[in-house]
Amino acid sequence: MSDATVSPIRRGRPPAGRERLSRSVIVDAAMSVIDDGGPEAVSMRTVARELGVDPKSLYNHVPGKEALLDAVVERVLARMVVPVPTGVLGDDILAIAREFRHAALSNHPRAASLILARPIEALSTLEPLDAALSVLMNAGASPEDAVHAVRTMLAFMTGTLLREVDSAMTLASRSGSTAAARSEALANGGLPNVRAAAQYLADIDHKREFEYGLTLLVAAFEARLAR
C-alpha cells in the first residue's frame, strides 16, 4: 500500500464513538497488524496507522516496540488455562500442550511465533512455564533437563502451529479436491517412496499431527528419565 492510500493520521481527541487510546487498545491494534502481516509487520508506526493516530501518542502508554511485542505475548499466554496436574508425566505434558495450542489458535494464531522470540525474563505471565517445569521436575528431571525439555516442546509446538496457520510447505490440504490433485501429482513424480506415501503427504489433519509429535516427545522424555 502506498503512502497516498493510507488514511490520514488523526491527532488530538479521538472522534466520537472511537475508543480512547490505552495500552489495551494499542495491543488490540498490534494483534490486528500481526493478523494481516505477521509479527514482522509490527512497528509503532504501523500500529499507529491501524488506530489512525500519531505514532508519538503510543509512547504515553507503551515504552516502545519491544514492550509492545511483550504485551502481545502476554495477551496470548493469558488465554491459557493451566491444567491441574495429575502426577502422570505424559498426561500432564499433553494437557499443558493442548491448552497452549488452544490459546495460541483461538483468536490470533500468527502471534504464536512471538512466544519463542521474546526473552523469558520480559514476560509477566510465567504460570504456564512454571507448570511445565513442575511436571518435569516432579517426575525426576533436573532443572537443567527440565529447561531443555520445555524448550524442545515449545520449538515443536510453535513450528507446528505456524504450519497450521500457513500449510504451504506441507504439500497438503484439508480440501478433498485439492488433496486428491496433490496426491496424483506426487504419485506421478517418478520417486517411488513419495509415490507410496502420496495420499498421506497430500492430506493433513493438523490436530492429529500435533498429537503425534507430542506423543513422540513424551516417550523421549520418559525414556530419558528412566535412564
Whether residue 54 contacts residue 48, with contact meaning beta carbons closer than 8 Å, is answered with yes
* Residue 149 clears pLDDT 90, i.e. is over it: yes
Q: Is residue 51 part of a domain?
A: yes
Q: The C-alpha cell of 108 is what?
A: 490470533
Residue 99 sits in the same domain as residue 24:
no
What band does 5 get if pLDDT is binned at 50, 70 and 90? Answer: very low
Share of the chain above pLDDT 90, in %: 45
Q: Pick the last residue of a domain from 13, 32, 62.
A: 62
Provide the pLDDT for residue 79: 79
Q: Is residue 67 part of a domain?
A: no
Provide the pLDDT for residue 175: 56
Q: What is the pLDDT of residues 38-47, one digit of tens each?
A: 889 999 999 9
Residue 49 sits in the same domain as residue 103:
no
Q: Is residue 71 part of a domain?
A: no
* Residue ranges making up the domain that contains 53: 3-62
Q: What is the number of other CB atoms lying within 10 angstroms of the CB of residue 210?
A: 19
Residue 9 sits in the same domain as residue 89:
no
What global pTM score does this model have? 0.71
- Between CA 109 and CA 4 the distance in angstroms is 30
- Between CA 97 and CA 217 the distance in angstroms is 11
* Residue 3 clears pLDDT 50, i.e. is over it: no
Provide the pLDDT for residue 96: 92
CA triple 89-95-101, angle to 5 deg: 135
Q: Total domain count for the chain?
A: 2
Mean per-residue pLDDT of the chain: 83
Residue 131 sits in the same domain as residue 202:
yes
Q: 30-34, 42-46, 76-80: which range is least confident on average?
A: 76-80
Residue 151 sits in the same domain as residue 197:
yes
Residue 40 sits in the same domain as residue 115:
no
| Phi (first) and psi of residue 203, to 5 degrees | -120, 150
Residue 44 sits in the same domain as residue 86:
no
Q: List the CATH number of the domain containing 105.
A: 1.10.357.10
Residue 187 sits in the same domain as residue 89:
yes
Q: Is residue 130 part of a domain?
A: yes
